[in-house]
Structure 1
């Protein structure tokens, strides 16, 4: 599932989701159980009062986007994430990397290597190892 809107100015999940969507996803990823809209609303209400209909609308939009799964249980619906938070972030980082390389080619790769060296020099060593492994497997 590729997210269509990436926000450069955001951080963490807010790069992919709106503020309420991000909070809802954190709640759902933070539990192993399926939750109802009411369950999520109660957890959100610890911060401030959020209307049930607003939570329902946002959660159903997340279903439409393919992020949440919804199933009918008796007289209500249960929601759960389609993938774990880690799987989601892995997929999104991979998609972003491919998009950057496709769009900018060697410039993107050069800037990524520069960023690795500035952020964490050990990552540069890991990259070198990965490149050696890839070359060995060819």
Structure 2
């Protein structure tokens, strides 16, 4: 999993397409299934997919003259990597950073966090 999992707007739309409609999509497949974007050039999507592959966020395999792309991980794994990377880059108190984050959490989000912590504790015992 890449250490820097930050995505630009178009990269996010392309990754959403890979997650929703993949695996093994060609550039044309991605273009045909992308949502919420205006007409983009084939070469633009090809460049974005190539960049995602170089970042380790997508995997590609040769299929004749074309490449087929698959997301290298799930949405959830990518989000976890981004959170971990952010926390690792905090030079100050990580606990204080987490407290600031959690101060804005809704009751439902806090319930989800409690359930996730309980599951992790069960796995580690």
What TM-score do you get using the length of structure 1 for normalisation?
A: 0.68
Q: In the alignment, which residue of structure 2 is the partner of 1:8? A: none
Q: 1:123 aligns with which of 92, 95, 110?
A: 110
Distance 1:113 1:71, change over 3 A: closer
Q: How many angstroms does 1:64 deviate by?
A: 0.9
Q: In the alignment, which residue of structure 2 is the partner of 1:108? A: 97
Aligned residues: 117
- 1:16-55 matches, cutoff 5 A: 16-44=6-34, 47-55=37-45
Q: Identify the range of structure 1 (57-66 vs 105-114) with the bigger mean alpha-carbon deviation.
A: 105-114
- Note the alpha carbon deviations across 1:41-63, whole angstroms, 9 max, x for none: 12237742110011111110111
RMSD: 2.9
Q: Is there any run of 5+ residues in structure 2 with no aligned partner, and where? A: none
Which one has more relative contact order, counting CA pairs under 8 Å at least 6 apart?
A: 2
- 1:29-108 matches, cutoff 5 A: 29-44=19-34, 47-100=37-90, 103-105=91-93, 106-108=95-97
What TM-score do you get using the length of structure 2 for normalisation?
A: 0.74
Q: Which runs of 4+ in 1 moved over 4 A?
A: none
What is the distance in 2 between the residues matched to 1:109 and 1:90? Answer: 14
